Amino acid sequence: MTQASFHTLRDRLANDVPSGGCDDAGARRLWWAALETLQQTLIGRSDQHQGVWLAAPLPALYAPSLISQLRGWVWAPESIERLTTLEMTLPGSGSQPIHRFERLSLMEEDGDDPFLLVITPQLQVALALHGEDGQRQLLMRCDTPTLSDALALIGRRLRDQNPDQAMALQQELELLGPLQSDERWSDRFWPQVAERLTGMAPSITFQAASDTTKPVSTEEDQELSLLEALTHEVRTPLATIRTLIRSLLRRRDLPSVVLQRLQQIDVECSEQIDRFGLIFHAAELQRQPGEATLARTDLGEILQSLAPGWNDQLERRGVSLCLDLAPELPMVLSDPRRLEPMLGGLIDRTSRGLSSGSRLDLVLREAGARLKLQILVQQPDRDDSTRAGQPTEASEQAQVGPVLSWNPSTGSLQLSQHATRRLLASLGGRYRQLHDRSLTVFFPVATDPDPT
Domains, the chain, in order of start with CATH, read: 6-201 (no CATH), 233-444 (3.30.565.10)
pLDDT tens per residue across span 327-376: 999 999 998 888 988 999 899 888 887 888 999 999 999 998 999 999 99
Three-state SS for the chain is CCCCCHHHHHHHHCCCCCCCCECHHHHHHHHHHHHHHHHHHHHCCCCCCCCEEEEECCCCCCCHHHHCCCEEEEEECCCCHHHCEEEECCCCCCCCCCEEEEEEECCHHHCCCCEEEEECCCCEEEEEEECCCCCEEEEEECCHHHHHHHHHHHHHHHHHHCHHHHHHHHHHHHHHCCCCCCCCHHHHHHHHHHHHHCCCCCCCCCEEEECCCCCCCHHHHHHHHHHHHHHHHHHHHHHHHHHHHHHHHCCCCCCHHHHHHHHHHHHHHHHHHHHHHHHHHHHHHHHCCCEEEEEEECHHHHHHHHHHHHHHHHHCCCCEEEEEECCCCCCEEECHHHHHHHHHHHHHHHHCCCCCCCEEEEEEEEECCEEEEEEEEECCCCCHHHHCCCCCHHHHCEEECCCEEEECCCCEEEECHHHHHHHHHHCCCEEEECHHHCEEEEEEECCCCCCC
Residues in the chain: 452
Each residue of 238-252: pLDDT tens digit? 877 887 788 788 888
Lowest mean pLDDT among 26-35, 178-187, 349-358: 178-187
Q: pTM for the full model?
A: 0.53
Mean pLDDT rounded to a whole number for the chain: 79
- Mean pLDDT for 406-412 is 64
Summarised one tens digit per residue, pLDDT across range 219-229 is 676 677 777 77
